Each structure stands twice: as structure tokens, then as C-alpha cells.
Structure 1
Amino acid sequence: MLTEREEQIVELLRRDPLIGTDALAAALGTSRASVNVHLSNLGKKGVILGRGYVLAEQPSAVVIGGANVDFKARSTSPATPKTSNPGHGSMTPGGVGRNIAENIARLGDRVHLISVVGRDPMGENLLDHTAASGVRVEHVVRTDRSTGTYTAVLDADGELIVAIADMEATTELGPEQLDDARDVITNAGVLVVDGNLGLDTLDYALDLSHGVRTVFEPVSVPKAMGLKNAIDHRVDVITPNRDELAALTDAPTRTDRQVRSAARVLHDRGVETVWVRLGERGSLLSTADDQVEIAAVPTEVEDVTGAGDAMLGAFCHVLLASGTSEEAARFGHAAAALTIASAHTVRPDLTPRLVRAALSKETST
């Protein structure tokens, strides 16, 4: 994993590969000797190759999953069921897979999205925004179906009351479309597949991903139930909440002990890491050798939408930098806290420095 100073140097080298050490030192406000130490470390980490500061091509992330438009309605006071409530609404780019990809891109990593959107104005806007955020969208399929939508109703405190997802367009994503992106998938540093995929599509994606570190995000209880038999010995990381874990394992998850036991069921089925989201409490990071509880980073709640996607995007950012799963999970919690404190589903100002600052603040308290 790169230090903050190393990331700054890499960014300067990307802008000008022929920049000298004196110019680097001046730009960073440090000494030439200090720059040389950092350059040496970057060479040891394989980030720069030989003379001329040629940057090694970093492995990319690939995300296969849903892309849609989010419609959010938030009550201005505690919501009363079965009647009209005053509030306000918004329309933003969304979709679990798309959100994860945008978070990864905003953290500075190369990422490809494989998904489906309609040939309608919503689809055009969705693609334009996603590409502008840095996500590669060459493998997003266009369909005559309407672009998918996710409609969420939030209480006055930003907590989700109910949501309806129309992801019919995603059914157009099949093995044939994945085959067109075969090289991108097989050469990925990290592959994320979400539960919006059909069973045959997920099967084919996991066939292609042999040897690639693969993360499965279940998305919801019904989708977890429909895909649970496809993951055995084919997925490295699964990121369920408590209810999704129960659906994947047919085991109770009401108590902490039951959650730990259910996670071990997935280890027995060949899953290396099970990262269970526990809401305000944080998460349980479970491996075959250890189970660690990780506290959530406290924050003011503005809107919970997109928090899980930020967590997983930040998690993948650290995995791409060869960090440990525990480092990745802690980084993910900090990114989620920043997102919850924002009105945005994906924070447009998200950077590794911002996440590290949130994480450092929590560590020092």
C-alpha cells in the first residue's frame, strides 16, 4: 500500500514522466534526498520500472453488476405510513455495481464497468456521468429496455424506510456480453460481481475469473437466495449483511455467535474472507484463521444510501494496493462514514487522502 507522499509522487510522474528529482522536491516542498528515498521505495514496490520513472501499469478492477438511476424521496419529519408526507426528492446515478465502480475510480484506480443501460435519455445521462467520474464504460451494453431504477423512501433522519428496485434491464447481460470483455476480466486485479446478475451470467463470470481475486456482493436477501449455490469454491470474498448471510447459508444469524458460525459455513464452502456488515456496530471480518470485529467510524447521518457501495469500493482500492483484508475493511468503514455524512450516493470529492483523514481522526479519538 502506498503512503500519502508516494501517491503524490506517482501523480506528478503521471503528469510528467521526465520530471527530475529537483523538480519533484520543489513541487512537494521537500528535499531531493527525501524524494530519492521515496523513489527507491516505489521501485521496490514495483510502481516504477528502471530509469526514466516509467510507471508500472497497475492492475485494474472490474465490476460486473447493476447500473440504474436512483430516485430518492426524503420526509422532512418522521414519516407517517399509509399517507402523504411532505418532503423532497432527487434523481442521481446509481446501481450497486456502478456505484462501487465510481467509488473505485474516485479513489484513483483504473476500473471497468460491465453492465446494461437503456437507449433512453436516462441511460445516456448515466453513462456520461459514470465515464466523467473515471470509470471505463466500453463494456456497458445498450438495450431497448428502459434503464433500471431504484426508488428509495427515506425518513427524516436519512434512514431507509423502503426501496423498490427495477433491474429488468440487467437481464440483458448474459454470457455473450461477458465474452466480449473476456480479456478485461481475466487480467483484472480484483473482480466484483453483484447479486443483480442472472445465474447463468454469474456462473460464466466466475468461470472466467479463475485465478482473479473475486468479490461477491449479494445486494439483497432474495438475490442472495437465488445465487447461493453458484459461489462454492469460486469466490474469494463475500460481503453480506446479517440477513443476506442467513440466506446464503440457511443458518440463523440473530446473535453474534450465530453470525460467526454462519460465516464459518461459507469458509467450509471455499470462501476465503466473509465480511459481514452489522450496521451501526461496524462489521465482522471473518477468515478461516481469525474473526475480527471492526467498529464503524462515527459520523453524522445525512443519507445512508450508497454507504455499503463506498465501503466495498474502498475495500477494493486497498486490495489493489496489496493491502490486507483488515486494512481494507477499516478503510472501507471510513469511506462509508464520509458517504453517510454526505447527501451524495457517491461523494464527488472522495479521495484516498480524505478517507485516510477520516480514519486517522477515528484512530486518535
Structure 2
Amino acid sequence: MEKQRKDGEVEAVPVVIGGMVLDIQATSSIPPHPRTTCPGQIYYVQGGVARNIAECMTKLGAQPFMISALGFDMPGNLLLEHWKSAGLRTEGIRKHKDIKTPTVCHILDVTGEVAAGVASVEAVEMFLTPEWIQRFKHTIHSAPLLIIDANLSPPALEVSCRLAAESNVPVWFEPVSIAKSKRIAPIVKYITFASPNEDELIAMANALSSQNLFRPIERNNCSTDTLFQMLKPAIWLLLEKGVKILVLTIGSDGVLLCTKGESISWRICLEKTQQHGFSRQLFENMTSSCPSNLYSDSKVLERSPNFLAVHFPALPASVVRLTGAGDCLVGGMIASLSTGLDVMQSVAIGIAAAKASVEVDSNVPSQFSLPTITGDARIVYSTAKLLQHQSKL
């Protein structure tokens, strides 16, 4: 049942819809050889794009409502018990004897990057049905933000977006993978935020253009400005098709925040924001040291009235593994937006959260240090740079 406040209204919390996955992560101690085993380490890690985002939000003081599906098997029991132990709500998590809990096996190289993997996540599409999602329509209607991951089937994505549109709830689309990122095409008109990496951006642009107009970018150690100019046609297409704010991850170079006709200081409407505990301190620390509306002055808007792009650098980190970085970037941003911070302040916190995630074995750190997160976010915010635009795309 949907949780209601004393006044009868459904509680306004961010809603996250998507996969909860058990990640089996194997790291070889030596270069692996085909057709045989090699020594190394194997870990069971709580995973799934949507689950990771929701857990990160929780650790930063937000209280997301999770809509997902799990089986009554070992991976499902492990994921559900972890969720309960964190004090998180389970009403939106569908449990069924026929569900085979989504599981992914990753082979990681010595740098922490995924070298190969096998994913068994069909249950997300089979059991996260439009009918199950519609059970929580009032929670979605009341949400400050809806987050959907592209593991959902196209009908489930469609109904999620329609429910959000009924109450003008902003929608965040997380592409998940190159193949699944293309699922944005039928729903792009509903999307407020999208958070692809470079390869997902190209795939999404091709899906939206109905032709393979865009090719993967050959980096060749180019500058961020040069990379931006190469990616700009694909970025512009997504913005033209309806995405309001694009959060483009560019690996160790950080994040490009791009908008068309949308304020770079976008924020959630005040009556839907929540601040308590960690999130209140996060809000207070950021607002006292990182002024809002950094690029909202008339001179900036005159120079680029319809297209703004800001580069946020990544932070140096002692990398253990990289599998949770993108999800913690998104989770950090959404948690920050939910407190009332603007989108630029939220990107800075997202990058700080991503840095914390790559320095631990799990996808999401067991806890975040408030001084470290806010200190790192200040560094990112103070070094963000408005990118120069050529007059022609």
C-alpha cells in the first residue's frame, strides 16, 4: 500500500523504478587464460542501476520509494534482507515464486573496469509490468522526481512516463547500456533528465534520428573542448527531441551538463523538497559555500541564449573499482535536487559521490562523510567551466 501522511495525501518522495540485481564480481590476480580458471577474488555485491541509485540517495539523506521485482531465491533473499536492514520500504518490490532474481556476473580487469560479463535480468521486463507500476500511481503523482532505468520494458517505460506527466513530475532516464539506451525513442518527449555516457549518447541519437547518422567518437587524447565539439551534434539532437537537461559522463574527464532553453539553475519546486538529517546539512553546507545561479546572468544568456554547456571536472581518486560510479553520480544528483539545491550544485555533489564509490569494493559506499562530500563538491563547483560555443552546430 502507498504510504500516506496524516492529512491523507501520499508522501512526496522520489520514486525509482528498475532493477535490483545481485552482482557477482570476479577479479583475476593474473592475466586470465581461455578454457581454464585462474586465481583471484570473487565478491557478491548489491547491484542494479536503479537499486544503486536508490541506495546512494538513501545514504545521502533522501528517502526514495523503490519499485522493482525479486524472487524467493538466494539472490532475492540477500537483496531484500539488505534493503530491509537499511530501513527502506519494500511495498513497491514485487515478490513472486516465478521470478528469477536478476543476476549479473562481471569479470573485472586489474584496473577495476569490466572486461566481460553475463547478465540475466529478464525478470525486470517480465514482472515489472505496467499493471504493477500503476498500483503506485499516487506515489508517482506526488513525487518530486521519477527515475526510470532502461531495464524496463517499453510498455513499462511508457506507463511510468505517462503517470508522471499527469502531475507534471520530472522524469530522469538512466540509459543502463548501449542497447537499452535506445528505448528512449518512444518516450523522449517526457524526459527531463538523461544521463548517458558517450557511447550511449551516440546510440540514443541514432535511435532518435531513425538513421545511423552518428559514429562513436575517437578520442585520441583530445581536449574537453574538442570532445564537446565532436559530441555536440548528438547532444543537440537529444535536446531538440525533448530532453531538457543532459548529464553526459565523459569518463575521467568528468561531466558535461547541457541544456537548451532550460535554466542551468533548474531545481525541484520548493513544496516537494525535503530536508532532514544528512540532507539538511548537505543543503546548508552547499548553499553557504557554492552560490546558486552561477551562469544565470544576462551576459551569459545573451552569448548562448538557447544552448548552455558546462564542464565539471572529475576528482582524483584511488580507484578500487568503477562499477558504481555512474549510479552514484546520478544518486548524488537526485538526492541533492530533492533537498532544493539547483542542478549545478547537484552535479558537483554527484561527482563527489562518484569519487567515493570508486574507492570502495561495493557499488555504493557503506556511508558518506559529510565533510568529504561537501569539500570535494566545492572543488568541483569552483572549477566548473562554461564551454565556448561556435555559432553553427
Q: Considering the TM-score relative to the shorter chain, is it more than 0.5? A: yes
Which residue is equivalent to 2:7? none
Aligned pairs for 1:296-307 (under 5 A) are 296-307=314-325
Which residue is equivalent to 1:202? 157
Which residue is equivalent to 2:359? 341
Which residue is equivalent to 1:252? 215
Please give the alpha-carbon distance, in whole angstroms, between the structure 1 residues aligned to 2:11 and 2:169: 14
Aligned pairs for 1:1-365 (under 5 A) are 59-80=12-33, 83-143=36-96, 144-170=98-124, 171-210=126-165, 211-225=168-182, 227-250=183-206, 251-254=214-217, 255-288=227-260, 289-360=307-378
CA contact (8 A) 2:46 2:362 kept: no
Compared with structure 1, are the counterparts of its residues 341 and 175 closer, same or farther at alpha carbon in structure 2 (3 Å cutoff)?
same
Say which SS state the counterpart of residue 95 (structure 2) adopts: strand
Q: TM-score, normalised by structure 2?
A: 0.74
Please give the alpha-carbon distance, in whole angstroms, between the structure 1 residues aligned to 2:252 and 2:324: 15
Please give the alpha-carbon distance, in whole angstroms, between the structure 2 residues aligned to 1:213 and 1:331: 20
State which drifts further: 120-129 or 255-264.
255-264
Which residue is equivalent to 1:15? none
Structure of greater relative contact order (alpha carbons < 8 Å, 6+ residues apart): 2
Please give the alpha-carbon distance, in whole angstroms, between the structure 1 residues aligned to 2:155 and 2:353: 32
Please give the alpha-carbon distance, in whole angstroms, between the structure 2 residues aligned to 1:82 and 1:75: 14
Kindly provide the CA deviation profile for residues 170-190 of structure 1, in whole angstroms up to 9, marking residues without a partner as x: 121111101111111111111
Shift of 1:137: 1.8
CA contact (8 A) 1:297 1:359 kept: no
Please give the alpha-carbon distance, in whole angstroms, between the structure 2 residues aligned to 1:205 and 1:58: 18
Number of aligned positions between the proteins: 308
Compared with structure 1, are the counterparts of its residues 167 and 252 closer, same or farther at alpha carbon in structure 2 (3 Å cutoff)?
same
Say which SS state the counterpart of residue 190 (structure 2) adopts: coil
Shift of 1:201: 0.3
CA contact (8 A) 1:338 1:358 kept: no
Say which SS state the counterpart of residue 228 (structure 1) adopts: helix
Q: CA RMSD in A?
A: 2.0
What residue ranges of structure 1 are gaps of 5+ in the alignment? 1-56
Say which SS state the counterpart of residue 23 (structure 2) adopts: strand
CA contact (8 A) 1:215 1:237 kept: yes
Please give the alpha-carbon distance, in whole angstroms, between the structure 1 residues aligned to 2:313 and 2:30: 29
Which residue is equivalent to 1:25? none
Q: TM-score, normalised by structure 1?
A: 0.80
Name the % identity.
Answer: 31
Please give the alpha-carbon distance, in whole angstroms, between the structure 2 residues aligned to 1:356 and 1:290: 25
What residue ranges of structure 2 are gaps of 5+ in the alignment? 1-9, 207-213, 218-226, 261-306, 384-393
| AA at the equivalent of 2:145 | V
